[in-house]
Amino acid sequence: MSRVKEFVEKYYVERRNTNSLKWDALKERFGDSELLALWVADMEFKTPECIREALIERVDHGVFGYTKLPESYYDEYESWHKKKYNIDIEKKWIRFAPGIVQAILWVIQAYTKKDDAVIIMPPVYYPFANSIRNSGRKLVESPLLEDNGVFKIDYDTFEKQIRENDVRLYIHCSPHNPVGRVWTLEEQKKVFEICERYDVLVLSDEIHQDFTYGDNKQISALDVDGGRYNKRLIVANSGSKTFNLASLVHSTLLIPDEDVRKVFDKFSKENLGAEPSLLGQIALEAGYREGHEWLEGLKETIVFNYNLLCEELAKNAPEIKVYPLEGTYLVFLNVEKVLNGKTTKQFIQDECGLAIDFGDWFGKGYKNYVRINLATSPDNIRKAIERIVKNCKIS
Ligand SMILES: Cc1ncc(COP(=O)(O)O)c(C=O)c1O
């Protein structure tokens, strides 16, 4: 049996009627509970056995009182990052947050003042822009440029926007959701050099770090030029994408510089006082210790789904542009040429019956794009392809 078939048979689960946002909020979010859900970034796969066993053991113990992180937690966290990304994380850098979106809000609030400018590179994960706006900061954008079917960084615009708006913070998405890029060393160096020149703090959201494919290797911002940019850097990561743990509300901020840490700690003392999630911490430690093989099976399944989508659309709906999947489990598509006067929603949702993330959620100018979540069964991806192809032929 192929590894993909084995993985799907073992881990795929029906999620309707389990209080799943993705499947059970379709009516609220899209107005139609019967859509095929390929939107929000979680998966239809059970977490690895090692995580479930560790959680069951703890639940069976039956006490959920105040807790202390064991040394073994830090050992597994540090060893995962050392082995996979060759970064040496020091325990004193680590702070916790219930989620990365929460962490982004905290960083915006701790390091910038009202009306300060914060820059992002759309199309990008929409809570970046929402968090900036909702915190009363000025949203500044440096859109990615599409060059021969690949999204690239526009360094001139990035620098100009920083200079003209006196930007204080840049939120880096690495790997980049939704365009699927894994930034190279050169690309990151150029961006961080600009940030250094204008004394801009970098928040690098690396939540998708464990999803890269082929020759695309994740380089953490912490490892760019041997840590040269660590003086003005905060990295946010978590196991919530890696092991499908979003609702266990446990994520990490890494703050290597002592002065930058002091600012966070002061903010935390005055505003937070939160404890890390016990179950989140147990799940992550178990996943980092023993979840590697499961993750490899998952990644093969995602690549299988991506190849299926590319091959079938190239054959039957070649007008749809599918962007390269270097990282993440989210594929970006341009459907402009098959719309024939319809809106993207009319085509994708009303005709094809799919709940996806619409391009215009990620920034102005992307209304003909969609993002599809590939972390599901090949059967679901096949169904989506069939509906797209059928409706392209009709229109
Ligand atoms: C780039 C990025 N950051 C953060 C998140 C959400 O993180 P959390 O659930 O920890 O708030 C997502 C989820 O899709 C994401 O894609």
User: What's the CA gap between 157 and 149, in Å, rounded?
Assistant: 20
- Residues 95-109: pLDDT tens digits? 999 999 999 999 999
Residue 147: φ, ψ to 5°: -130, 110
- Is the same domain home to 7 and 73? no
- Is the same domain home to 181 and 171? yes
- Is the same domain home to 62 and 179? yes
| pLDDT at residue 373 is higher than 90 | yes
CATH of residue 277's domain is: 3.40.640.10
Q: Which two tokens stand for residue 270?
A: 């005055």
User: What's the CA gap between 286 and 54, in Å, rounded?
Assistant: 7
- Is the same domain home to 43 and 62? no
Ligand 1 pocket by Cβ (under 6 Å): 41, 99-101, 125, 173, 177, 205, 207, 238, 240, 246, 251
User: What's the CA gap between 217 and 181, in Å, rounded?
Assistant: 11
Give the pairing type, strands 330-334 and 145-147.
Answer: unpaired
User: In the prediction, which pLDDT does 273 show?
Assistant: 81
pLDDT bucket at 296, cuts 50 / 70 / 90: very high
Sign of the four-CA dihedral 25, 30, 31, 34 = negative
Look up residue 36 and give its amino acid: L
pTM over 0.95: yes
Sign of the four-CA dihedral 375, 306, 207, 11 = positive
Look up residue 164 and give its amino acid: E
Look up residue 215 and give its amino acid: D
**80 in a domain, yes or no?**
yes
User: What's the CA gap between 64 and 229, in Å, rounded?
Assistant: 40
Tell me the CA–centroid distance for residue 193 and ligand 1, in Å.
Answer: 26
Mutation to probe ligand 1, out of 40, 100, 209 (largest number of atoms < 8 A from CB): 100
- Residues 180-209: pLDDT tens digits? 999 999 999 999 999 999 999 999 999 999
- Is the same domain home to 9 and 137? no
- Is the same domain home to 333 and 384? yes
pLDDT bucket at 275, cuts 50 / 70 / 90: confident
Last residue of a domain, one of 290, 318, 349: 290
3-state secondary structure at position 352: coil
CATH of residue 310's domain is: 3.90.1150.10
Burial class (CB in 10 A: 0-12, 13-18, 19+), 13: exposed
Q: How much is the mean pLDDT over the chain?
A: 97
- Is the same domain home to 79 and 186? yes
**Cβ distance 361 to 349 under 8 Å?**
no
Q: Which domain holds residue 252?
A: 52-290
**42 in a domain, yes or no?**
yes
Query: What single string gives the DSSP state of each residue in 5-22?
Result: HHHHHHHB---TTTT-HH
Last residue of a domain, one of 290, 315, 342: 290
Tell me the CA–centroid distance for residue 104 and ligand 1, in Å.
Answer: 10
**77 in a domain, yes or no?**
yes
**257 in a domain, yes or no?**
yes
- Is the same domain home to 83 and 29? no
Query: How many separate domains does the chain show?
Result: 2
Query: What is the CB neighbour count within 10 angstroms for residue 381?
Result: 24
Q: Which two tokens stand for residue 302?
A: 């995602």
- Is the same domain home to 269 and 312? no
Q: Which two tokens stand for residue 124?
A: 């990008």
- Is the same domain home to 35 and 80? no
User: What's the CA gap between 23 and 2, in Å, rounded?
Assistant: 28
**142 in a domain, yes or no?**
yes
Last residue of a domain, one of 290, 309, 331: 290
User: In the prediction, which pLDDT does 1 show?
Assistant: 60
Give the pairing type, strands 117-120 and 167-173.
Answer: parallel
Q: Which two tokens stand for residue 59?
A: 């639940």
Tell me the CA–centroid distance for residue 123 and ligand 1, in Å.
Answer: 15
Q: Which residues contact 283 (CB under 8 A, 6 or more apart)?
A: 47, 51, 54, 55, 239, 243, 245, 248, 250
Q: Which two tokens stand for residue 244?
A: 């499908």
- Is the same domain home to 229 and 307? no
**245 in a domain, yes or no?**
yes
Tell me the CA–centroid distance for residue 60 and ligand 1, in Å.
Answer: 30
- Is the same domain home to 350 and 336? yes
Look up residue 81 and give its amino acid: H
User: What's the CA gap between 12 and 43, in Å, rounded?
Assistant: 9
Looking at the chain, the whole-number percentage of residues with pLDDT higher than 70 is 99
Tell me the CA–centroid distance for residue 240 and ligand 1, in Å.
Answer: 8
User: What's the CA gap between 236 and 264, in Å, rounded?
Assistant: 13
**141 in a domain, yes or no?**
yes
- The arithmetic mean of pLDDT across residues 357-366, rounded, is 96
**395 in a domain, yes or no?**
no
- The arithmetic mean of pLDDT across residues 143-172, rounded, is 97
3-state secondary structure at position 201: strand
- Residues 152-161: pLDDT tens digits? 999 999 999 9
Mutation to probe ligand 1, out of 125, 284, 371, 373 (largest number of atoms < 8 A from CB): 125
